[in-house]
Amino acid sequence: MAILEVKNLSCAFGGLMAVSDLSFEVEKNEILGIIGPNGAGKTTVFNLMTGFYLPIKGSIIFNGKNLLGMKPYQITKLGIARTFQNPRLFKKLTVLENVMIAMHKVYNASLFDTLISNRKYIQQESIQRDKAEEYLDFFGLYKRKDEIAENLPYGEQRKLEIARAMATEPSLLLLDEPAAGMNLNESLELVNLISTIRERFNLTILLIEHHMEVVMNICERIIVLDFGMKIAEGKPEEVKNNPRVIEAYLGKEVKGVIH
């Protein structure tokens, strides 16, 4: 069953078609990769799906609900979480606070409860704290919980961003270049982490990535974008050998040039 259906999606910035007539489906529980050269419109697709941009036409159906016109926070509440290409942590706050903020939607004490500091407030605060600590524990960041987020090493900041996204309890996770700036070892560790969270949280994952070893390793299916259009779709091996994909990445072979 498709958890997400994107149909004829188009988005333009001025005269530039950032995404044109894009359609694809995401099956429940799969890991779908989106690749393509720089400026192909991959991040734009994420921004459209999470409500930060408005398409000029097309539809995005998530679990039978059309997401068009919804605000980003409403989409998050429906169960889509994302990370950003450049980590957007709450830099000056602690690691624990970063995760606690992501759990705001299940916080059940009203403003009035917090003002009179009643039992409900105290209970909700401790539930939120405990659950946030559980998430940090799962992601191996528990020891760092009281550190300021911007003081973490880069790899852990990336991890924290994923932990924070998972704390919103999504059923679909959008990862925007999670391995950017990582070396081979770190990216292989990331591959493990992504597979683990998929198992553990019964998750569907959409992944934008440039590191081919990551994409080829974990994606079951890949979509290739170029100039906002889908130029290929299929299993990793099929995509790898597709002439249009090679052309998009490496350029066309020019015949008749004398070397």
Partner 1 sequence: MRRNLLTLSTLILILFLSVLSKNLDPYIYQILVFFGINSILAVSLNLINGFTGQFSIGHAGFMAAGGYFSAALSIYQGEKLLNMLSFLPRDLAQGVIFLAFLIIGGLFAALLGLMIGIPTLRLKGDYLAIATLGFGEIIRVAILNLDVVGGPRGFPGIPKLTDITWVALWAFIAVVVIYRVINSSHGRAIISIREDETASESMGINTTYYKVLAFSIGAFFAGIAGGLFAHYLMMLHPSSFTFMRSVEILLMIVLGGLGSITGSIFGAFVLTVLPEVLRGFAHLRLIIYSLTLIIMMLVRPSGLMGNREISFYRLYKFLRRKGIG
Which residues in this chain contact partner 1 in the complex, by CB under 8 A?
A: 50, 52, 71-73, 76-77, 81-82, 84, 88-93, 97, 100-105, 107, 109, 111, 114-117, 121, 124-125, 128, 164, 168
C-alpha to C-alpha distance for 103 and 166, rounded to whole angstroms: 9
Q: Which residues contact 54 (CB under 8 A, 6 or more apart)?
A: 11, 48, 68, 69
Closer by beta carbon to partner 1, 51 or else 236: 51
Minimum CB separation from partner 1 for residue 68, in Å?
17
Q: Which is nearer to partner 1, 20 or 128 (CB)?
A: 128
17 forms beta bridges with 12
CB of 193 to partner 1, least distance (A): 20
Q: Which is nearer to partner 1, 104 or 244 (CB)?
A: 104
CB of 105 to partner 1, least distance (A): 4
| Residue type at 198 in one-letter notation | R
Using the minimum distance from each CB to partner 1, give the nearer residue, 50 or 204.
Answer: 50
Q: Strand 65-66 vs strand 57-62: parallel, antiparallel, or unpaired? A: antiparallel
Nearest CA-CA partner of 158 in 211, 117, 111, 113: 211
- Using a 10 angstrom Cβ sphere, with 0-12 exposed, 13-18 middle and 19 or more buried, the burial of residue 235 is exposed
Q: DSSP secondary-structure letter at 252?
A: P
Q: In whole angstroms, give the CA distance from residue 117 to residue 197.
A: 36
- Looking at the Cβ atoms of 83 and 187, the one nearer to partner 1 is 83
Q: Pick between residue 119 and residue 255 the one whose CB is nearest to partner 1.
A: 119
Minimal distance, residue 156 CB to partner 1, in Å: 17
Coil, strand or helix: which one is 26? strand
Q: Return the structure tokens found at 71.
A: 């605000």
> Residue 58 Cβ, how far from partner 1 at the closest point, in Å?
21
50 versus 187: smaller Cβ distance to partner 1: 50
Read off the amino acid at residue 181: G
Residue 164 CB, shortest distance to partner 1, in Å, is: 7
Measured CA to CA, the distance from residue 121 to residue 42 in angstroms comes to: 42
CB of 43 to partner 1, least distance (A): 13
φ, ψ (nearest 5 deg) of residue 41: 105, 15
